[in-house]
Amino acid sequence: MISALVCVLLAAAPTAVAGAQRALRVTKLHGGLPDALLTLRPEPGLRQLAIDVAAVLELRTGQRVEVGEPPPPGLPEAVPAGNVAMARDGRSVVLVIGAPGGRSFDARVELDANPGQSSQSDARAVALAAETLRDTAIELGRTDDVGL
């Protein structure tokens, strides 16, 4: 009885592994946006806000978030996949996340604080927008991969 059960389990193991590998290929979890790290790339005047946003995101997600170099001047959508450009536009901050395949997604957050200042409410609002952009980029990347 035990040897028959072992034979059945051993025969099923390759099928389970192959199924898991197919699932990984379909979802592209191994080739999508990085799960362990998000990089914020603020314009120079937004660096303090980006540091505050990174702290909020790390608390919310449990993932490490870095504040990197500024995005290319005048071209925030040119950031690599998994990077979020932060650019000032009047009293708003425009967020642009690079996505696989050269795509990008953007959002705009109106700020309460004056330019050059940062408030906790601004940091939370921008963090929520950045997290939503990242989730959207991942989900749209998955649906594109399965032909939806």
pLDDT of residue 10: 45
Confidence of residue 97 (pLDDT cuts 50, 70, 90): very high
Of 61-65, 106-110, 125-129, give the lowest mean pLDDT range.
61-65
pLDDT at 142 over 90: no
pLDDT of residue 26: 52
Long-range CB contact pairs, 134-141, < 8 A, 24+:
134/33, 134/38, 134/82, 134/84, 134/97, 136/105, 137/33, 137/81, 137/97, 137/99, 137/100, 137/103, 137/105, 138/32, 138/33, 140/99, 140/105, 141/28, 141/32, 141/33, 141/99, 141/100, 141/101
pLDDT of residue 113: 67
Range among 12-26, 28-42, 118-132 with highest mean pLDDT value: 118-132
Please tell me which residue, 107 or 29, carries the higher pLDDT value: 107
Q: What does pTM read for this prediction?
A: 0.69
Q: What is the mean pLDDT of the chain?
A: 78
pLDDT of residue 122: 94
